[in-house]
Structure formats: structure tokens, C-alpha cells
């Protein structure tokens, strides 16, 4: 028997979905084999991961907390990737967003004692602006000078981290520690647990308003992409930039604008994380959300609502990483999922034929 690949002209839609699910299942199976090989009990490990992520309302809430920055950064990547702009700088834009949001209360830009309904919108705007400004750099370099955005966005991640470190180690450091002092309560995004006085079941649930930002952003992006002129123009640019130019679209402007919006989404994720979870600035606010976001965008095949689903899955894996030993297992599974996904793409573009060797070889003349 011999297995052969044959290119296919078009792939049906259901196949994409089926292959994505299959890739996840296969990844879990490979993970199980590895777990069994090193002497673990894969079934128990998976049950444990599932339990640690979705087992009760408390951990489910924690999963959603983890998913929130992933959704926003995932959307940031998906948006850029749709135009074939390889923004792998969501991490840096996230950090800048956190920094910008922090600046509102740390500089302070707003005087102390302002109410939450002023402070929080100000932080959102600052976070989105800072992230957007950070992404403007690769955007304009790409649009005007044709500089490869993969390199610039990647390098800007390191600069962003150094920038954040400078502020939390230096001017904003609290007593020489590598973090700032806690933000005032007005700068905290409301969490479910804040309403425990009225609704007791919410006690201890840390899901915060950032999730709503993420879902609203998803809804907006979904509508914009599928129904509006801008979505159409982006589709055109993403498929054939020369045709887009011929259609009268200012492609360079789009490159810049999409980069800025992508950065703003990642910046908003950074704001949501410091304002909703960490409540202060420190240099370790991201366990690599901006990088995981690339995998998520890919897993979601750039669909906004699918980004939400993929983020919840990855939120669960990140959360489980804290819970179970060895904690490397969920990270390993993340990696295997990505591999399986990339591998499954082959099946999208080719059809597998199984045949006997004799039949499969072409007899060459002469």
C-alpha cells in the first residue's frame, strides 16, 4: 500500500471545521500517548484538566478570566492576518496598552478621586491608543517603505517589554520592588464578585468587565467583516492587493489603519488585564498572551466568534497549567495542537489517495 497526496481545487467548508476539530482531538491523543509513556495516567490527567478549567462555576470563571486577554489579542491577530499583515507584535502592543492604562493613574493624568466612570473609560482610551501607536510604527514602515512587518513587530515586542520594565523598576516602582503600587479602586474593572452583596452566588467570581469588552469587540468585528464596505475592502486587499488598488482602494492607508486597530485591540487587552486582574503594573503581566494569540487566530481560521471558542480552550489549558503537575503538560498540548493544525492544512489542500504501489507509479516512456 502506498499513500499519495493529490492537490484539490476547492475544499468544502465543513472540511475546515472537521479538520480543526480533528486536529485538536489528535493533539489530545498524542498528548495522551506521551503522558502514558512517561508513566502518567492520561485519562486522569485530562479529567483533571477539564475539572480544573470547567469543573465548577468558580474555575469556569477563572477560565473566562484567562480567555479575556486571549480573545482581544486573538482578534488583533485575526484582523491583521486577514489582510496578510503578519502582526506578531500583539505581545508588545498588549504591554504598551497596559502601560498606557497605568499611566492614567500613575502619572497621574487624571487627578486622584475621579469616579470610576471617568477613570475606566480614560484607561481604555489610553490603553487602546498606546497599543495602536505601537502598532502604527510597523504599519507605517510597511505601508510607506515596504519594511517586513514580521521583523519589526517581533523586535518591537522586546522594546515594549524594556519600556515597561523601565517604568516599573524606575519612576513608578513601589519602594524599589519590580512593580507599581496598587491602583485605586476607581481604576478597577467591576468583577462579578463585586456584586456578591446583592447576588450571593457571585462571591469569589473574578470574571470582569473586560470579558464584555472582548465580546463586544468580537461582535463588532464580525459585523464589520461580513457586512460592511470595510470588510469587503479588506477581503479584496487580503486576496489580491493589486486588484484592490485597481478597485480604487487606498491599500497603504488600510495597512496603517488595520495595524493601528489591531494594536488598539491588543492594547485594550493589556488595559483589561491590569485593570481587571492585576490592579497594578509589573513587568510580568503577560504569560505570552500575544504569542498564544497567533495560535488562536490560526485555530479560529481568522473567524471572530471562533476566536472566542479557541480562546476559551486555551484559557482552560493555561489555567490547568497552574493546577496540575507536571505543569508543562498543557503547554505541551498547546504546542501539539498547533502542529496538528498546521499538518491538517495539508489535508485541506490535498486529497489522500491510498493505492497499491504498482498502480501508483507512472510508467515513463523511452
> Which parts of this chain interact with other proteins (CB under 8 A)?
4-7, 9-10, 227-232, 235-236, 239-240, 242-250, 353, 355, 359-366
d(CA 302, CA 249): 22
CB 95 within 8 A of CB 285: yes
278: DSSP letter: I
Containing 350, the helix (H) or strand (E) segment is: strand 350-355
Residue among 56 and 359 whose Cβ is closer to other proteins: 359
Give the C-alpha separation, 266 to 77, whole Å.
9
Min separation Cβ 227 and other proteins, Å:
5
Which residue number, 37 or 242, has a Cβ lying nearer to other proteins? Answer: 242
CB of 364 to other proteins, least distance (A): 5
Neighbours of 200 (CB within 10 A): 8
Taking alpha carbons only, the member of 261, 292, 339 closest to residue 85 is: 261
Please say whether the beta carbons of 106 and 128 come within 8 A: no
CA distance 352 to 355: 10
Helix (H/G/I), strand (E/B), else coil: 211: helix
CB of 274 to other proteins, least distance (A): 33
Taking the least distance from each CB to other proteins, the nearer of 249 and 307 is 249
Q: Work out how close the CB of 235 gets to other proteins at its nearest, in angstroms, rounded to a whole number.
A: 6
Report the C-alpha gap between 28 and 199 in whole angstroms.
Answer: 38
Cα–Cα distance, 99 to 166 (Å, whole number) = 11
In whole angstroms, the minimum distance from the beta carbon of 121 to other proteins comes to 24
Closest distance of CB 15 from other proteins, Å: 14
Q: At its nearest, how many Å lie between other proteins and the CB of residue 302?
A: 13
Residues in the chain: 366
Whether omega before 108 lies within 30 degrees of 0, making that bond cis, reads yes
> How far is 288 from 90, CA to CA, in rounded Å?
9
Amino acid at each position: 500500500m502506498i499513500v499519495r497526496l493529490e492537490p484539490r481545487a476547492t475544499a468544502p467548508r465543513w472540511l475546515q471545521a472537521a479538520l480543526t476539530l480533528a486536529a485538536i482531538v489528535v493533539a489530545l491523543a498524542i498528548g495522551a500517548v506521551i503522558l502514558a509513556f512517561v508513566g502518567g495516567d492520561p485519562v486522569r490527567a485530562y479529567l483533571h484538566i477539564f475539572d480544573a478549567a470547567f469543573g465548577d462555576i468558580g474555575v469556569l470563571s477563572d477560565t473566562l478570566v484567562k480567555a479575556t486577554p486571549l480573545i482581544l489579542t486573538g482578534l488583533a491577530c485575526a484582523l491583521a492576518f486577514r489582510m496578510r499583515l503578519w502582526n506578531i507584535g500583539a505581545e508588545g502592543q498588549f504591554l504598551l496598552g497596559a502601560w498606557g492604562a497605568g499611566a492614567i493613574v500613575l502619572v497621574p493624568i487624571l487627578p486622584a478621586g475621579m469616579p470610576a466612570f471617568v477613570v475606566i473609560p480614560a484607561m481604555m482610551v489610553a490603553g487602546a491608543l498606546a497599543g495602536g501607536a505601537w502598532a502604527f510604527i510597523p504599519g507605517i514602515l510597511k505601508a510607506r517603505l515596504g519594511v517586513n512587518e514580521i521583523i519589526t513587530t517581533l523586535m518591537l515586542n522586546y522594546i515594549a517589554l524594556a519600556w515597561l520594565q523601565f517604568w516599573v523598576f524606575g519612576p513608578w516602582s513601589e519602594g524599589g520592588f519590580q512593580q507599581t503600587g496598587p491602583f485605586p479602586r476607581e481604576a478597577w474593572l467591576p468583577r462579578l464578585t463585586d456584586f456578591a452583596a446583592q447576588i450571593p452566588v457571585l462571591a469569589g467570581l473574578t470574571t470582569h468587565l473586560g470579558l464584555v469588552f472582548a465580546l463586544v469587540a468580537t461582535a463588532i468585528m464580525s459585523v464589520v467583516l461580513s457586512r460592511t464596505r470595510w470588510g469587503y475592502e479588506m477581503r479584496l486587499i487580503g486576496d489580491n492587493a493589486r486588484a484592490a488598488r485597481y478597485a480604487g482602494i487606498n491599500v497603504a492607508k488600510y495597512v496603517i489603519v488595520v495595524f493601528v486597530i489591531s494594536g488598539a485591540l491588543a492594547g485594550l487587552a493589556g488595559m483589561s488585564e491590569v485593570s481587571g486582574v492585576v490592579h497594578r503594573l509589573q513587568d510580568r503581566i503577560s504569560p505570552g498572551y500575544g504569542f498564544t494569540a497567533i495560535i488562536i487566530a490560526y485555530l479560529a481560521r481568522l473567524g471572530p466568534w471562533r476566536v472566542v471558542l479557541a480562546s476559551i480552550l486555551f484559557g482552560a489549558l493555561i489555567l490547568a497549567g497552574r493546577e496540575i503537575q507536571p505543569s508543562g503538560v498543557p503547554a505541551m498540548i498547546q504546542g501539539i495542537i498547533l502542529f496538528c493544525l498546521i499538518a491538517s492544512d495539508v489535508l485541506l489542500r490535498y486529497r489522500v489517495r491510498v493505492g497499491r504501489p504498482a498502480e501508483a507509479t507512472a510508467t515513463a516512456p523511452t
